[in-house]
Amino acid sequence: MKPAIHRRRRHEQGQVLVVLALSMVAILAMAGLLLDSGIAWVNRRDAQTAADTAALAAVKAMAANNLADDPAVRHTAAVSAANAMSATNGFPAGSVSCPGQAAAQGVVVNNPPLSGPHTGDNLYVEVIATGAMNTTFARIVGQNCWLVSARAVAQLIKSVTTTPGSAYPAILAAYGPSPCSNKAYDNSAQFTVYGDVISDSGMHDSSTGTHYNGKITYVANPPNGCGTQTVISGSTTTTSPTAYPVTYTFDTTAHTVKNNVTGSTVACTYWFAGGTNLGNGAWWQGGSSGSGQLNPGVYCATGDIGLSAGSNPVGNVTFVGTGKITISAGHVNLTPYWDSMLAYSTSNDPTNTVINFSGSNGQWAGLIFAPSGGVRVSGSGNYAYLAALWGQTVITTGTGWTLDSRGMTTPSTSSSIDYRVGTLVE
């Protein structure tokens, strides 16, 4: 019996040795993988440093190479600077690979980024640095080389300095019936004006009850020379005409209106071939002018536009026509639908009124503009806020009303653009 027992014990001891040997191999392999993982972590940290510094170098070069504010110039500068900085940190451009694995680029510079929250924004630079790392113990399991990479995104900060727009004159009379007219602006009203009054010719004021709370200017000596001009007391002179701060184009084919300064374009909401008096129709809420509520929109006509119907007409509207625009309803409450424009006539009739606002006891806002014709506002008890009157001639009559253009300005313009290095954002 003893020999059999001894044989079994020797057999079991041999099995233990095999298991122990296999366990030692597994333990050594695990230890090797852990050691190589630690080395890979160090390599990845180096890759992250390379990516971070390359991304910051890229935006620094972009800020310094902003020729004509050209994104292509900035992009070229970013790629060159990022490649150079990454190489300095041990991650040069070019192809890197491990045996049996797909090759990768040592440095990838994307401006704009191709991934992440800043995808497509050319004020950000994405850098991916990749390097090959030779393993040690991982070779036991056939992994002789690993690719280690890191990614960084840096921001280029753009600063735009703008020049504020200039204030709209409350009243601007362009030329009058002729450049030598002695009253391109003619006032007989007793009212209050907040904003500048400008005439490219003379001005006349027969009222003693008007209060001007702005600068009053007229052209004393137009280029063609003029005789004595009648002017408003307290006005000052200038030698050059004042151009309209903004001009518009009314396209009667496309049924659109365009601001020629900003490029903003709006389509006519309602179109009246031959003109309209805005009687009953779909443009009134409920279809009846007696309801007093005009639907919002741009009301366009190849001809005259009249608004005299309705009980206390209210509307967020813009009137545009090739003929006369007459607003004679009382107790109006009108605000501009588009581009601060209430009424605009393209009629070329400098000796006659083409826009006539004669309602009383109402309030309205917006620009009333007849660049080639006359503008006339009369009535009593009106309050025109954020409003202006521009035309070849401007006539104001009536009592107890107010014209206030304060707050109306031309668009702001960019005066300078500056770029500076931002921070790492990813």
**Structure-block tokens of residue 22:** 């296999």
Q: What is the mean pLDDT of the chain?
A: 86
Select the highest-mean-pLDDT range: 203-207, 222-226, 294-298, 309-313.
294-298
Give a yes or no: residue 62 inside a domain. yes
Query: pLDDT tier at 134 (50, 70, 90 boundaries)?
Result: confident
Q: Side-chain half-sphere of 274: how many Cα atoms within 13 Å?
A: 0
Top pLDDT among 289 and 119 is at: 119
Q: Is 21 helix (H, G, I), strand (E, B) or coil?
A: helix
Judge if 226 and 89 occupy the same domain.
no
DSSP string, 231-292: --TT-EEESS----S--EEEETTTTEEEETTT--EEE-SEEEET-B---SSTTBTTS-GGG-
Domain contains 2:
no
Domain hosting residue 145, numbered range: 22-163+420-424
pLDDT in tens, 317-344: 999 999 999 999 888 999 999 999 999 9
At residue 196, the pLDDT reads 96
Q: Are residues 228 and 268 in the same domain?
A: yes
Question: Do residues 364 and 395 share a domain?
Answer: yes
pLDDT score, position 1: 46
Range 94-118 average pLDDT: 91
Give the chain's domain count.
2
* CB-based contact 103:97 (threshold 8 Å): yes
Alpha helices in 65-96 (DSSP H): 71-88
* Confidence category of residue 144, pLDDT binned at 50, 70, 90: confident
Is there a domain that residue 409 lies in? no
Question: How many other β-carbons are positioned within 10 Å of the β-carbon of residue 241?
Answer: 15
More confident residue, 289 or 224: 289
Q: Are residues 144 and 178 in the same domain?
A: no
Report pLDDT for 178. 62
Average pLDDT over residues 47-64: 94
- Determine if the pTM surpasses 0.95: no
Residue 57 maps to a domain: yes
- 7-44 pLDDT, tens digit each: 555 545 555 555 555 555 555 556 556 666 777 788 89
Residue 1 domain-assigned (yes or no): no
Q: How confident is the model at residue 228 (pLDDT cuts 50, 70, 90)?
A: low
pLDDT digit string, tens, across residues 401-416: 999 999 998 877 666 7
